[in-house]
Amino acid sequence: MKTQPIKHQTAPPRIEVPSHPVWPSLGDVEKEALKQRIIALLKAQNAVLVAHYYVDGDLQALAEETGGCVADSLEMARYGTTSDADTIVVCGVRFMGETAKILNPEKRVLMPDLAATCSLDEGCPIDQFNTFCDEHPDRTVVVYANTSAEVKARADWMVTSGIALPIVRHLHERGEKILWAPDKHLGHYVQQQTGADMLMWDSSCVVHEEFKGFALERLKRLHPDAAVLVHPESPEDVLRHADIIGSTTRLIKAVTEMPNDAFIVATDDGIFWKMHQLAPGKKLISAPTAGVGATCESCAHCPWMAKNSLINLEQVLLGGYNTITVEPAIRAKAVKSIQRMLDFATEHNISGALPSR
Ligand code: 13P
Ligand code: SF4
C-alpha cells in the first residue's frame, strides 16, 4: 500500500470552538405549543425540515412528524432534490444548507443559525486550498462534504463518509492519484482501506478528535460484551478498537442489526436519539473523550450542531431570516462535484437512508 505523508498547509487556521449554547428549558405545554406553531408555519410556507442525527431530538422528532427527513449528510443532500417543498429548512450545519441550495437553486433554503459551521469547513479556507491544488495539478481533487461551496467548486468530486470508500476505490482502480481534503483522519482511513495514492490536507473534526484510544480501551474492559461503533472522523488509535466504522447511518444500522445488548459509541451523542428510537432496549455508552479528569471542548457533542433549536427554528420561519445564498458562478462549478457523487450513488445503489420502519 502506498502511503503519502500528510501535507501541512503553511499556516493552518486556528479554529475558535464556540461554547455550547444554553437554550431556555421549556415545559411540556410550552414546548407542544411551540411545535404546533412551527407545524402551522411549515404548512403555510410549503416548507420541509431536513435534520441531521446530531441535532436536538425535538428537532429530529418534528422533522419526522411533519414528513421531512432525518439523515446523514449523503441522504440530506439527496432528499431536497426529491421533495416538492418550496422551502427547505436545514437543521444541521452550514455546509449542509449550502449543499441543499446548490442542488436546489430554485428553492428557498433556511437554517436556524447561519453561524452553525464546522471545524473541517473552517479549517480549509479557499485561498490556501487553491494553492494546494495548484501545486498538484496531476491529482484528482476529492473533498469531504464538510467544506464550503467554494472548496466544492474547486473539487472534482465531493464525498460523504457514507460513500468515500467506494468512490476513492473507483478512482484508484482507474489509476488516479488523489488530493484529499480536509479531514486527515477520514482520509487516512480511506487510504488504508483502498491503498490509493492520497495527498492530504491537515484538518480534523474537533468533536471526534477528542475521543481517546487509551480511555476507550479501558472502557471496553469494563463492558466486554459491548460492540464499539466509531465514526471515521475519529483518530486512528480510536478506529483501532472499532467493531464497526462508518457513517452515522451505518452506526445506527449497526445498533439495530447487531445482537449485542450494549454499544460504545464514538460519535456525537445527538445520534442516541435515533438509536434509542430504533433499538429502545439497547444500552448506549458514549466513548470517552479525553480520559479521567480531563476537560474537553466539545464533550462528544458538536457545538455548531447545538445551535439548532425549536426556538430559533420558529424565529427563522416567522422572519424569513437566515436564507442560504450561493454565488451563481460558484454554484455552477460546485454542483458538478456534488452531482458526480449522487450519480455514483445511484449507479452503485448506495444510500444514506435507513430502511423505512
Ligand atoms: P455523516 O455524513 O456520517 O452523517 O457525518 C456528518 C458529520 O458531520 C459527522 O461529523
Ligand atoms: Fe463538523 Fe465535527 Fe461538527 Fe460534524 S461533528 S459538523 S465534522 S465539527
Hey, what domains does the chain have and what are their CATH numbers?
A: 1-205+302-357 (3.40.50.10800), 208-286 (3.40.50.10800)
Q: Identify which of 111, 265, 268, 308 to mutate to test ligand 2's pocket (most ligand atoms within 8 A of the CB).
A: 268
Q: What is the predicted pLDDT for the residue at 293?
A: 58
State which of 69, 70, 160, 206 you would mutate to test the pocket of ligand 1, scoring each by most atoms of that ligand within 8 A of its C-beta. Answer: 160
Q: Is the peptide bond before 182 cis (omega within 30 degrees of 0)?
A: yes
Joined grid coordinates for residue 260: 449485542
Q: Which residues line ligand 1 (CB under 6 A)?
A: 72-74, 146, 160-162, 205, 231, 233, 247-248
Q: Atom 5 in ligand 2: which residue has the minimum CA distance?
A: 302
Cα–ligand 1 centroid distance for 73 (angstroms) = 6
Neighbours of 79 (CB within 10 A): 20
pLDDT value for 295: 64
- What span, in angstroms and rounded, lies between the C-alpha atoms of 206 and 228? 20
Q: Ligand 2 centroid to 354 CA: how many Å?
A: 21
37 with 123: CB under 8 angstroms?
Answer: no
So what's the pLDDT on residue 270?
Answer: 97
Distance 94 CA to ligand 1 centre (A): 13
Ligand nearest to the backbone CA of 354: 1
Average pLDDT, the chain: 94
Q: Which amino acid is at 348?
A: H
Nearest residue CA, atom 3 of ligand 2? 302
Q: How far apart are CA 199 and CA 187, in angstroms?
A: 9
- Residue 209 pLDDT: 93
- CA–CA dist 318, 37 (Å, integer): 10
Q: What CA–CA distances, in Å, run from 223 to 167, 250, 283? A: 35, 22, 11
DSSP state of 264: E
Q: What is the pLDDT of residue 144?
A: 98
- Tell which residue, 257, 255, 288, has the closest CA to residue 272: 255
113 lines ligand 2 (CB under 6 A): no
Q: How far lies 5's CA from each of 8, 22, 65, 200, in Å?
A: 9, 41, 47, 8
Residue numbers in the chain where pLDDT is lower than 70: 1-11, 291-298, 357
Q: Measured from the CB, is residue 207 less than 6 Å from ligand 2?
A: yes
Q: pLDDT digits over 166-210, tens only? A: 999 999 999 999 999 999 999 999 999 999 999 999 999 999 999
> The dihedral of CA 325, 335, 82, 60: what is its sign?
negative
pTM of the model: 0.95
Which atom of ligand 1 lies at the shortest distance from residue 93's CA? 8
Sign of CA dihedral 33, 34, 36, 37: positive
Q: Vertex 74, ends 355 and 122: CA angle to 5°?
A: 145
Q: Measured in angstroms, how far is the CA atom of residue 117 from the centroid of ligand 2?
A: 8
Q: Are 326 and 96 in contact (CB under 8 A)?
A: no
Q: Specify the pLDDT at position 307.
A: 98
Query: Closest ligand 1 atom, CA of 231?
Result: 3
Distance 52 CA to ligand 1 centre (A): 8
Position 290 scores a pLDDT of: 74
Q: Is the peptide bond before 24 cis (omega within 30 degrees of 0)?
A: no
The whole-angstrom separation of Cα 272 and Cα 250 is 13
Q: How far is CA 44 from CA 81, 143, 249, 317, 327, in A?
A: 21, 37, 31, 10, 28
Beta-carbon neighbour count of residue 146 at 10 Å?
30
What is the SS3 assignment for 147-202?
CCHHHHHHCCEEECCCCHHHHHHHHHHCCCCEEEECEHHHHHHHHHHHCCCEEECC
Q: Single out the residue of 267, 205, 235 nearest to residue 15, CA to CA.
A: 205
